[in-house]
Amino acid sequence: MADDARDLNAPTGEGEVEVILRGGAVDRPADVTPYEPLIEAKTGLGELLAPVAGFGVTFASLFRPTVTEQYPYEKVPTKPRFHGRHQLNRYADGLEKCIGCELCAWACPADAIYVEGADNTEDARYSPGERYAAVYQINYLRCIFCGLCIEACPTRSLTMTNEYELADDSRQDLIFTKTQLLSDLLPGMEQPPHPMRLGEKDTDYYVGAGGTGGSDR
């Protein structure tokens, strides 16, 4: 017999567990506790019905009301706090609330938001502050709708709508631009750029804007 071949009939030593294979059978050590099932075995009628007991759930479901939704023919409204497509909000005069600070982009764990800020000028004002978002994009191929961007936004410019129909067959079309994300102009709003209409000074503007509402209310 070669040196590296094991003699299965040879004893393995004193005190050592001896397991010898003979045609697939295993000699188990005497001190191994036999397997005991934790669930008590059924007897009588229980034993008779056990093979079909699983069908009880199916049978009971036959008499429950159907919950099948007829989407897309009938759309069920979401819960009010459902995280859907984002929206960039406006002040009551139409100026944008976004100040291009990029905090939403930094907060995003999926790196789905891209912002490029730019300076407002007296000739071209898009937001009441110094800066506005010249470029704003959300990549819905990456977005996980966690809402961390909403928490990070200091001006409540960014909020989430209940809109959930975002499927598309084009990767490019799922990168939403600022134009797509900006809220519609409500009555009394004016398309930027334009001067601040809600007050001469910043404090007047913001106090007035807070009192008259915006597009996120």
Q: Which residues bind ligand SF4 (CB under 6 A)?
A: 98-104, 115, 133, 152-153, 155, 157-158
**Percent helix, percent strand, percent coil in the chain, to nearest 5:** 20, 15, 65
The nearer residue to ligand SF4, 50 or 143, going by C-beta atoms, is 143
CA separation for the pair 215, 95 (Å, rounded): 10
Three-state SS string across 153-192, please?
A: CCCCCEEECCCCCCCCCCCHHHEEEHHHHECCCCCCCCCC
- Do residues 143 and 163 touch, judged by C-beta distance below 8 A? no
The nearer residue to ligand SF4, 100 or 192, going by C-beta atoms, is 100
Question: Closest approach of Cβ 167 to ligand SF4, in Å?
Answer: 24
Question: Closest approach of Cβ 127 to ligand SF4, in Å?
Answer: 9
Question: Closest approach of Cβ 88 to ligand SF4, in Å?
Answer: 6
The nearer residue to ligand SF4, 12 or 177, going by C-beta atoms, is 177
Element (H, E) at 10: none
The nearer residue to ligand SF4, 92 or 103, going by C-beta atoms, is 103
DSSP state of 90: B
Question: Closest approach of Cβ 183 to ligand SF4, in Å?
Answer: 12
- Geometric angle at alpha carbon 151, from 109 and 93, rounded to 5°: 125
